[in-house]
Amino acid sequence: MSTSKLSLFGFAVLTATASLAEGPDLGQPLSPDEVPFYATYVMPDGRGLPGGSGTAVEGAEIYAAQCTNCHGATGTEGPVMPPVWPNEIWPKSVGKHWPYATTLFDYIRRAMPLDAPKSLTDDEVYALAAFILERNGIIDEGTAMTADTLPSVQMPNRDNFIDVWATQGEKPW
């Protein structure tokens, strides 16, 4: 058999059997009813934010109960995760690096706590966002974070990011 015919045969076999390959069997399929629970999103301008509210005072209690195991009691000495406010090792904390407060809410809502993501209520997420923003010196302790107030928070490093969409046309959000 010539090399070209052998190559063609090999290509045909690989193409025909590629669909039989299986992945590592991680996770479990979601039912159509479960998808909306996990397919949440919040845009930088605040679209997608749910109802609810929370203050830094409320967030301090939630932080103490839900976050200290990973981020540490003061938020600067977490044994596992980066701190939520700066220390000598992790200078890029939320207050020093993130461009939008809405993405803080979105991240907490989707991924925290690490051992039970999506387990916090929207009010708890607003309270934790308020607590982290207050500890970073961005808002006052009594400022309530809501779908109306969170998008108006001006993050200190917001203007140091390059808006790739500005030169490419309409923003996707």
Q: For the chain, report the end-to-end CA distance as a whole number of angstroms.
A: 57
Interaxial angle between packed helices 56-66 and 122-135, expressed in degrees from 0 to 180 and rounded to the nearest 10 = 100
Structure tokens belonging to residue 77: 């000495």
- Domains of the chain by start residue, with CATH: 52-158 (1.10.760.10)
Instruction: Specify the amino acid at residue 11.
Output: F
Interior/surface letters 78-93, b for 16+ CB within 10 angstroms, e for the rest: beeeebbbbeeebeeb
- The pLDDT tens digits for 113-155 are 989 999 999 999 999 999 999 998 999 999 999 999 999 999 9
- The pLDDT tens digits for 79-102 are 666 667 666 666 677 888 889 999
Structure tokens belonging to residue 152: 């108006």
Instruction: Specify the amino acid at residue 63.
Output: Y
What's the length of the chain? 173
CB 158 within 8 A of CB 149: no
- The pLDDT tens digits for 4-45 are 776 767 666 666 666 556 667 788 888 999 888 888 889 989
Q: Give the per-residue pLDDT at 172.
A: 60
Q: Give the per-residue pLDDT at 64.
A: 96
